[in-house]
Amino acid sequence: MSKADTRDEKPAARILTLRPGDAVMMIGPCGSGKSTFLKAHFKSTQILSTDAMRGVITDNVNDQTCSKQAHEAVAYFLGLRSSRGMITALDATFLHSKSRDQMRDALKASGVGKLHAVIFNIDPEICEERVAIRGRERRNDIVSVPPGIATRHSTTLRSQISALRREKFATLIEINHPDQVPTIVVEEKRREETFNDIGAGRVDVVGDIHGCFDELVILASRLGYIVGPYDPVSEDPIKVSHPEGRKMLLLGDLVDRGPHNRDVLRFAMGLVHYGAGDLVLGNHDAKFARALDGANVTRNNGLHETMIEIEACSEAFRRATSALLAFTPLVTRMKATGRADGATTIFGVHAALPEEIQDKSSNPGMLRNIALYGVTTGATSEDGFPERLDWAADYTAAPIVLHGHTPMEEARSLNRVVCLDTGCVFGGKLSALRLDLYDANRPESLQEALVQEPAREQYSTSSKL
């Protein structure tokens, strides 16, 4: 079949899915259609262009004497945008690994997003023709490229295309002809304030951590995850992966009361950054996030010590932490694996998710309050804390709910509700449920599906949440 015949066939759509903090890099010669593609799919405020930065620096987009500074400026603003959860499109040739690594490092420092790429491996004759048309109007605000440059760019690209395909991109799409450009569909998936989906099957769900980093790493290793390499001085996300592709879900309350809050946050960043899992927001995380953003909150129940630890970190780490928590959902939805007595959905939440708030259309304020703090009687106990109801005792809905928040001596399964907070920070255990091994029909399967790591010591004597 000839190349012409291949182009006559209708190509399948290729999906480019971008999430908060992600960036997509255009790679290819001048004249290959990168800027045109970006203008069709992204807002002008989302596009960072080295040509535009040259214009900002020297009033001339064609001034090649400031290329180094232009790339540095793009990397700087990419880091700022990613740390705030913004999606960014990068417009340059990016033909050399050094320039790509510069953007990759900026994303890594933000601790939030992933890098995607679209390669425009277009016939150099087409690129030269486009450049010639564009070059007829020479102005300081229009990029002008001499003849032959597009061909040279194409030669450079094709000499390293195999290596490029091996580079670590979250998504890599290669365009070999202009007719393929319309087949790319760009999806921007903003995390909803309430629900997020993690997928199905092989998920390990971990209860309240509260700064117990050592126990978390040991537990993750026992579950088969590869953690690290770990640098105790670094503030970068800690790389987490599983050779069998399992995912980990943290049920919130990452911080407070325990000794290593910064490293637990780095672990959580690594889960999200490297695609190894996700987390839901806990009440301690929510209050910590408000304090980190400058709100006047009471620094009790371990928050004072957490803030001292995190305020000693760099501004970049604090920004990355704020971004992580700002885009952390209240609820994660997982598909049941077919062993759960008719349940098609499994929910992960920090405190509680009774049936009446399991729909996305639920009152956002009520959902947030119950998801973070649980179901209460409305009364206050003698020590000033809300009186909680054991909502699981009256639960009759089909979906299984996994939660933490209420420390128990042992993990509990009651009416399809599983509590995984076994009080590690209070000298108990850190618990994980291997979801694919849990069967709600068989209560004894809870113990079969649990992996637990005892606390190294009792870090806190208070049990108030």
Torsion of CA 144, 150, 152, 155, to 10 degrees: 160
> Quick check: 51 pLDDT over 50?
yes
Question: How, if at all, do strands 23-27 and 226-227 pair?
Answer: unpaired
Query: At which residue do the structure tokens 């850190």 appear?
Result: 430
Tokens read off for 25: 């890099």
- With b for 16 or more beta-carbon neighbours within 10 A and e for fewer, the 210-220 pattern comes to bbbbbbbbbbb
- CA 306/CA 290 separation, integer angstroms: 13
Beta bridge partners of 185: 15
> Which pair of tokens denotes residue 308?
């001292």
Confidence of residue 216 (pLDDT cuts 50, 70, 90): very high
User: Which tokens is 213 given?
Assistant: 């980093």
Name the CATH superfamily housing domain 195-454: Metallo-dependent phosphatases (3.60.21.10)
**Lowest-confidence range among 1-15, 40-54, 57-71, 417-431?**
1-15
Tokens of 319: 């920004």
DSSP calls for 423-461: BGGGTSEEEEEEGGG--TT-TTHHHHHEEEEE-SS----
Which residues belong to CATH 3.60.21.10 in the chain? 195-454
Report the DSSP beta bridge partners of residue 413. 418
| Statement: residue 309 has pLDDT above 50 | yes
Where helices occur in 210-260 by DSSP H, the ranges are: 213-222
**Residue pLDDT, tens place only, 438-456:** 888 887 889 999 999 999 9
Residues of the chain with CATH 3.40.50.300: 3-188
- Inter-residue contact 271 to 279 (CB < 8 Å): yes
Which two tokens mark 356? 């009446």
Helix (H) or strand (E) holding 262: helix 261-273
Confidence of residue 428 (pLDDT cuts 50, 70, 90): very high
Distance CA(127)–CA(454), nearest Å, equals 62
Asked if the model's pLDDT at residue 458 lies above 90, the reply is yes
Average pLDDT over residues 295-319: 93
pTM: 0.67
* Rounded average pLDDT over 124-141: 73
Tell me yes or no: is domain 3-188 CATH 3.40.50.300.
Answer: yes
Q: Which range (42-46, 198-202, 409-413, 441-445) has the least confidence?
A: 198-202
Average pLDDT, whole number, for the chain?
87
State how far the Cα of 297 lies from the Cα of 290, in Å rounded to an integer. Answer: 7
pLDDT digits (tens, 9 = 90+) for 1-34: 444 444 455 556 788 988 878 899 999 999 999 9
Look at residue 2 in the predicted model and tell me its pLDDT.
46
Indicate if the pLDDT at residue 224 is higher than 50: yes
In tens, the pLDDT along 227-278 reads 988 999 999 999 999 999 899 999 999 999 999 999 999 999 999 888 899 9
Tell me what pLDDT residue 142 has: 58
What is the rounded average pLDDT of the residues 62-80? 91
Q: Which residues pair with 159 in a beta bridge?
A: none
79 in Cβ contact with 108 (< 8 Å): no
pLDDT recorded at residue 329: 87
Cis before 259? omega within 30: no
Q: What pLDDT shows up at residue 194?
A: 46
Q: Is the pLDDT of residue 361 over 60?
A: no
